[in-house]
Chain A
């Protein structure tokens, strides 16, 4: 409500993380060892079945579920900025920031490429592979 510090604070930052890697990196989170439910927030056990969870790396690609561009003042950010819910192919739905002020349309493909200075996951449209 009144915070001025919007920078990344590893201990209490509730946002999902990202790990760079040779295959384009991965979104980091947790997956239930029993029911396989994926979670992008730090948890002690599965919110669905309360079984133990294990750290997991999710493929960074997925499908845009919904999107918008915010054009109002939000602390720590410069409007306009576009955001989207991205359902990762083998994992949870995460909130990502996308380039420019045109929201990426629902149903389109996107790839998480990293974390911005603000600590937000950043995604861009997935290039169609030439085959």
Chain B
């Protein structure tokens, strides 16, 4: 067993609706940047590739990799809904720790505009997808249940969107980099009550990459202090919590335990804000706020840049965009840049420890397809 695995380099393409670009060129951008960042000049120093895509065709990873000259090594492709590429990273870390591979290239890619003209259409082999419950509806149901349990003010939901857009305005790669006001958020078109358009992430085309390897005495390498992955338990008539809460809380608990720290020790978070309510429940599940306290948390400024524990300094999914299979490694990239002090105008001063949470869904009857929590730095 190796003691610690490190993120040696990260890279991303730009984010946005870029149907003319295609996965191979997006991957060239992301992987090229990650390899240069890691100081890996020779692709023969990559021992395996752990790729992730949700809607990509069979062979998507190999099709991209041949244009990068990455051939001959084992290539594994993961699908875990929105948590796809953080799942790849979780597994890459385990492979490095176990000694199976010395260095793994993780790669996430999604070209959503090739598959969808508008929002993701629900899966018709799924009991609730077949009944028309599109993803905004899944999260709207979270908001409905949350409101029933704790109360939920529209201004708290709006505050998440306003904060993350403000952060994203400082991120040159963000898909939606313009700031918005709470009034604009609440006045935007209703998508699924109570979630308005500016509370929903956009579909996006992008690729993201990270190089995971053993310690090599390089200061810029960022240690992975902990990583946890689970799928949801049965979520049925016995459940009282909104969808995903218990899964996120369980996975977060495992990550804190492995890292030997608690949420109060973390300097910044990148969490799954596909919809505003998702950030509110995630901050509670991670333990930054008590159950029912996520709205007050964001309204207090605690999670804004300049606050004590910024959440989604990158702009999150709401601002950066949500290319499903590429999102997890985009969160990891932001955490790595922050911990190295390379985050430019959105730098969290003195950041030493970061946590990333990705939540994937779309399967009726369970509390989530998969959730990953990664703790970096220390």
Interface string of A9-37 (1 = CB under 8 A from B): 00011111000000000000000000000
Q: How many A residues have CB within 8 A of the partner chain? A: 45
A75 / chain B contacts, CB cutoff of 8 Å: 121-122
B131 lies within 8 A of A83 (CB): yes
User: How far apart are the CA atoms of A66 and B146 in the complex, in Å?
Assistant: 9
A95 lies within 8 A of B127 (CB): yes
Choice from A3, A12, A41, A81 contacting B132 with Cβ under 8 Å = A81
Q: Is A91 an interface residue (CB 8 A)?
A: yes
Q: Is B118 an interface residue (CB 8 A)?
A: yes
Q: Is B216 an interface residue (CB 8 A)?
A: no
Q: Which residue of B lies closest to A47 (CB)?
A: B234
B132 / chain A contacts, CB cutoff of 8 Å: 70, 74, 76-77, 81, 83, 97, 118, 120
A1 lies within 8 A of B237 (CB): no
A88 lies within 8 A of B124 (CB): no
Give the shortest distance, in Å, between A42 (CB) and chain B (any CB): 10
Q: Is B123 an interface residue (CB 8 A)?
A: yes
B133 / chain A contacts, CB cutoff of 8 Å: 70, 83, 95
- The answer to whether A14 and B144 touch (CB under 8 A), given A66-B242, A87-B237, A91-B237, is no
Choice from A3, A68, A97 contacting B140 with Cβ under 8 Å = A68
Q: Is B177 an interface residue (CB 8 A)?
A: no
- Interface pick from B61-69, B190-198, B223-231: B190-198
- Of residues 77 through 109 on chain A, the ones whose CB sits less than 8 Å from some CB of chain B are 77, 81, 83, 85, 87-88, 91-93, 95, 97, 103, 105-107
A71 lies within 8 A of B145 (CB): no
A14 lies within 8 A of B130 (CB): yes
B136 lies within 8 A of A95 (CB): no
B131 lies within 8 A of A97 (CB): yes
Interface of B, secondary structure class, is loop
B192 lies within 8 A of A70 (CB): yes
A67 lies within 8 A of B141 (CB): yes
B365 / chain A contacts, CB cutoff of 8 Å: 41
- The answer to whether A68 and B192 touch (CB under 8 A), given A1-B123, A12-B125, A16-B127, is yes
User: How far apart are the CA atoms of A73 and B123 in the complex, in Å?
Assistant: 14
Q: Is A48 an interface residue (CB 8 A)?
A: yes
- The answer to whether A95 and B128 touch (CB under 8 A), given A66-B145, A74-B121, is yes
Choice from A1, A38, A72, A77 contacting B136 with Cβ under 8 Å = A72
Q: Is A119 an interface residue (CB 8 A)?
A: yes
Interface string of B106-138 (1 = CB under 8 A from A): 000000000100110111111110111110110
User: How far apart are the CA atoms of A69 and B121 in the complex, in Å?
Assistant: 16
- Of residues 218 through 254 on chain B, the ones whose CB sits less than 8 Å from some CB of chain A are 234, 236-237, 239, 242
A1 lies within 8 A of B115 (CB): yes
B126 lies within 8 A of A68 (CB): no
Of residues B119, B131, B141, B242, which shows the largest number of chain A Cβ atoms within 10 Å of its Cβ? Answer: B131
Interface string of A42-69 (1 = CB under 8 A from B): 0000011000000000000000011111
- The answer to whether A14 and B121 touch (CB under 8 A), given A65-B145, A69-B192, A71-B189, is no
A93 lies within 8 A of B236 (CB): yes
Q: Which residue of A lies closest to B125 (CB)?
A: A14
B148 lies within 8 A of A66 (CB): yes
B141 lies within 8 A of A14 (CB): no
User: How far apart are the CA atoms of A103 and B144 in the complex, in Å?
Assistant: 10
Give the shortest distance, in Å, between A32 (CB) and chain B (any CB): 12
Choice from B124, B127, B191, B194 contacting A6 with Cβ under 8 Å = B124
Q: What are 24 contact pairs spanning A and B, CB under 8 A?
A: A1-B55, A1-B115, A6-B124, A14-B125, A41-B127, A66-B148, A66-B242, A67-B141, A68-B144, A68-B192, A71-B191, A71-B192, A72-B134, A72-B136, A72-B191, A73-B118, A76-B132, A81-B132, A83-B132, A95-B127, A97-B132, A103-B144, A106-B148, A121-B131
5 A-B pairs with least C-beta separation: A68-B140, A106-B148, A66-B145, A14-B127, A66-B144
Q: Which residues of A contact B (CB under 8 A)?
A: 1-3, 6, 12-16, 38, 40-41, 47-48, 65-77, 81, 83, 85, 87-88, 91-93, 95, 97, 103, 105-107, 118-121
